[in-house]
Amino acid sequence: MSHTGAAPVEYLAVGAPAAGPYALVSGPDGALWVTLVHAGAIARVGLDGSVEQHQLEPATCQPSQIVAGPDGALWFTRTADSRVGRITVDGRVSTFEVPAGPYGIAVGADGALWFTAMAANLIGRLGLDGSVRQIPLPIPGALPSMINSAPDGTLWFTLNQANAIGRLLPGAAPEVFPLPTPGAGPVGIAATGGGAWFAEILAGRVGFVDPGGRITEIALPDPAARPHAVLADGSGCWVTEWSTARLAHVDSRGAIEHVGLPAGSEPHGLTRGSDGALWVALEDGRLARVLDPRTA
């Protein structure tokens, strides 16, 4: 079951169309912090519409995923130069060298930053002191992508090329749960207290994995939707549909609601702002602010 809602949507330019707003998070200052993957910059976007860009060096570092750290700073992966960056709310930037191809990043229950290293095929732990621990994955070439931390300390992550979901429990070796649909290409993932929601970008599906490793898949109306980022809520999850330029809500019963976005806007990252709205990073240089029709 699917229907398209008429949720109010506002748009805010945060850079040139080629800048590539990619991922975003609500910071400790109440502002949104956005990676500009093509411009090699981090943008601070106030809820009043103010925009401040912080240029990174080199500009080709490809800032990708971003998270609010436990120390009051923002931490982000730099996929092209194998570093994790840290930016304070007043714009001071520092970096830490990590294994090749960092992409996903999350704050663990232990207060460290956990990240995926796509090229190195491992999960890494970056301490606030800069120390790095590496946890190799059991499948070669798995391409670990996004990672998210559950309230109980479980880390859930997607293995894009292994067509599987991974789980890392404190003190244990990584576990792998294969997906029922071949070639699904999982990317985004959002942990909950009872498992994790994830997006299958190549299959046009949204899935859920429970603590026992059981997987449920829900087909989106358009199999070519290319779902990317996932944000869990109390009844299911929100997911960005990159190809069809829509925001979808999927609940545990399989009901789907859609919010339309401009054609060609390429929605990627997704977060909930300090104002309670849903904010979406559009690769056309803008953010979309969506009043959640389910809570309004």
Token pair, residue 17, equals 């169309």
pLDDT tens digits for range 153-166: 999 999 999 999 99
Q: Let me know if residue 43 belongs to a domain.
A: yes
Q: Look up the pTM and report it.
A: 0.96
Q: Is the pLDDT of residue 238 over 60?
A: yes
**Are 283 and 20 spatial neighbours (Cβ–Cβ below 8 Å)?**
yes
pLDDT tens digits for range 46-91: 999 999 999 999 999 999 999 999 999 999 999 999 999 999 999 9
Percent of the chain with pLDDT over 70: 97
List residues bridging with 176 in a β-sheet: 166
Token pair, residue 63, equals 């800032």
For residue 10, give the nearest of 239, 274, 282, 258 by alpha carbon.
282
Q: Let me know if residue 84 belongs to a domain.
A: yes
For residue 158, give the nearest of 149, 150, 167, 170 by alpha carbon.
167
Binned at pLDDT 50, 70 and 90, residue 283 comes out as very high
Q: Let me know if residue 279 belongs to a domain.
A: yes
Q: Let me know if residue 269 belongs to a domain.
A: yes
Residues in Cβ contact with 62 at an 8 Å cutoff, skipping those fewer than 6 apart = 37, 40, 78, 79, 80, 81
pLDDT tens digits for range 189-217: 999 989 999 999 999 999 999 999 999 99
Q: Which residues does the annotation mark as catalytic?
A: 268
Token pair, residue 107, equals 């704050």
The average pLDDT across 288-294 equals: 88
Interior CA angle at 98 toward 92 and 104, to 5°?
Answer: 80
Q: Let me know if residue 176 belongs to a domain.
A: yes
Q: Let me know if residue 295 belongs to a domain.
A: no
| Number of domains composing the chain | 1
* DSSP per-residue string spanning 66-121: EEE-TTSSEEEEETTTTEEEEE-TT--EEEEE-SS-EEEEEE-TTS-EEEEETTTT
What is the per-residue pLDDT for 151?
87
The average pLDDT across 253-274 equals: 96
Q: How many residues does the chain have?
A: 296
Q: Is the pLDDT of residue 225 over 60?
A: yes
Binned at pLDDT 50, 70 and 90, residue 37 comes out as very high
Domain that holds residue 78: 2-290
C-alpha to C-alpha distance for 266 and 227, rounded to whole angstroms? 11
Look up the CATH number of the domain holding residue 59. 2.130.10.10
Distance of alpha carbon 23 from the chain centroid? 6
Q: Let me know if residue 296 belongs to a domain.
A: no
For residue 146, give the nearest of 79, 205, 94 by alpha carbon.
79
Binned at pLDDT 50, 70 and 90, residue 3 comes out as very low
Cα separation values, 96 from 70, 75, 83, 148, 150, Å: 16, 10, 5, 20, 25
